[in-house]
Amino acid sequence: MLQYFLFSVIACGFFTSCTSHSEYSTAIINDSTQVKLVKGEVNTLICSVSDSITSSWPVRFPVYQFQYGDFDQNGSIDLAVGVYKATRYDSVKSNRLFLFQVRNNSIIPLWLGSSVGYPIEDFRAVKVSDNQSIVRVLCKDKNDKYLVADYEWYGFGLSLSKYLCRQVSLQAAKKFLND
């Protein structure tokens, strides 16, 4: 009961000040479930079922990208959130990647590993089949050049599947990212 009360207070407090927030993007999970990323002082993922809030997850970092797809191939839509932050092992703030899933109408972290081996510039979710999406990442490569690579879910985390291009200009890499 206390948990329900606290959630109600948090949700009500959030929505009373919602006029200063703007919706960034919406992921449709199924016919009745959706997740919205609401940008504000604290960015928030909000899961709702039939227009009723079922859970929320604060994203306490600036968000540069929000995509969705079935990355872990379990038949459910997952969320990819790009954040700008430092990590425990890298004190330099840069673009990172978090993956979340919706399970039992709750937002659950799937992977907060954040790094893919090269500094991330941007990413996209790419649907490769009915039950699989991959993460296509544009990264900074050596010598002020860029690369685009596809990453697949591999047990616990992302694994490099293939490079689409390497050592190209930013303009060329953006074209590969968006194709």
The structural domains of the chain, with segments of one domain joined by +, span 2-178
Q: CB burial class (10 A; 0-12, 13-18, 19+) of residue 128?
A: middle
Q: What is the pLDDT of residues 96-107, one digit of tens each?
A: 999 999 999 999
- Helix H or strand E encompassing 99: strand 94-103
The whole-model pTM stands at 0.85
Provide the sign of the torsion angle of the four alpha carbons 81, 84, 89, 90, taken in this order.
positive
> What is the widest separation between alpha-carbon atoms in the chain?
58
Q: Cα Rg for the chain, rounded, in angstroms?
A: 17
Band of pLDDT at residue 120, cut at 50, 70 and 90: very high
